[in-house]
Amino acid sequence: MTGVDQYIKPDVPPSGPGCVECEESGNWWLHLRRCTFCGHIGCCDDSLNTHATKHVHATGHQVICSYEPDEVWFWDYATETMFDGPTLHAPHSHPRSQTVPGPKERVPSDWQRLLGA
């Protein structure tokens, strides 16, 4: 394998419907990203905790993809480029019933202020 192919394992399922670390801490997120190597689900860089990027830096798994419904894109942190990738193990996004930001019961009323929006 060469290039980004070594960082994409299509048969690995996602770790769950939400950010692993936010779920553990009872926190919330804006959007979700999926590690294409190990399936780790982390919150995006627009979220308070940026767990997807922290996962990349901690593991060296340099490719992620969107874990949002109807979004199909991949991102290579090493080259800072977006690209089209293969079909990964289902599910391809969090449940459509999950709110954005989410999960609804943990999102503070002033979430936009907290994100600087």
- Residue 10 in contact with residue 3, Cβ under 8 Å? no
3-state helix, strand, coil in the chain (%, to 5): 25, 15, 60
* Residues 33-48 pLDDT 10s: 999 999 999 999 999 9
CATH number of the domain that residue 41 is part of? 3.30.40.10
Distance CA 9, CA 6 (A): 8
pTM, 2 dp: 0.96
Q: Is 63 contained in some domain? A: yes
- Residue 48 token pair: 């308070």
- As for how many domains the chain has, the answer is 1
Q: Is 106 contained in some domain? A: no
What's the pLDDT at 1? 47
* Residues 66-93 pLDDT 10s: 999 999 999 999 999 999 999 999 999 9
